Amino acid sequence: MDVRLDMNTVFESKRDAWIVALIWVGALMCVFAASEQFDSAASLALRATMLILFGAAAAFMLWVLYAIDYTVTSEHLLIRCGPLRYRLPLAQIDSVQPSRNPLSSPAASLDRLLIKWNNERKRILISPLEKGEFLRELDRRCAQLKLEGEGLVRASAR
């Protein structure tokens, strides 16, 4: 048995500059709105509440942006995006194909991979920084998949 298959491999998310800038602008707007509460004529309780809410919103946006990674274990693909967690059984993955679909997903780049699993009933988009290495790692661990072009497809027999 390959020793590497017992180890977890973590892949960081690729981050497009425009997505990073957009999220930072949103977070800074929240910080600015929070700082405006200091000059507000509203009650102390309302100012404190607004300060906490705007600060939490800024922290949440940055958490989601910078806490995105994909871990390949011996049996699962674990996807982490801020507080969100997904666990995909490797044996159920049907295909992994390049995509530029802009739908919301645990990906900070439009250079994405569309993963279909559970007889193609479930889908998720991810954006590993090292896309080629990510595909090779899944190819090593998923007996039902084979590299084909820029993606992985279910092989009838391997």
- Domain range annotation of the chain: 1-158
Q: What is the pLDDT of residue 37?
A: 75
Lowest mean pLDDT segment, chosen from 12-26, 28-42, 68-82, 100-114: 28-42
Mean pLDDT value of segment 137-149: 93
Mean pLDDT value of segment 95-120: 94
Q: What is the pLDDT of residue 1?
A: 41
CA distance linking residue 144 with residue 153, whole number of Å: 8
Angle (CA) 93-99-100 rounded to 5° is 150
pTM of the model: 0.85
* pLDDT level of residue 156 (50, 70, 90 thresholds): low
Residue 55 Cα distances to 28, 81, 130, 156, angstroms: 10, 19, 33, 52
Query: Is the predicted pLDDT of residue 57 greater than 90, yes or no?
Result: yes
What separation, in Å, do the N-terminal and C-terminal C-alpha atoms of the chain show? 17
Q: What is the pLDDT of residue 24?
A: 97
CA distance linking residue 145 with residue 155, whole number of Å: 5
Q: What is the pLDDT of residue 47?
A: 81
- How much is the mean pLDDT over the chain? 91
CA distance linking residue 158 with residue 152, whole number of Å: 13
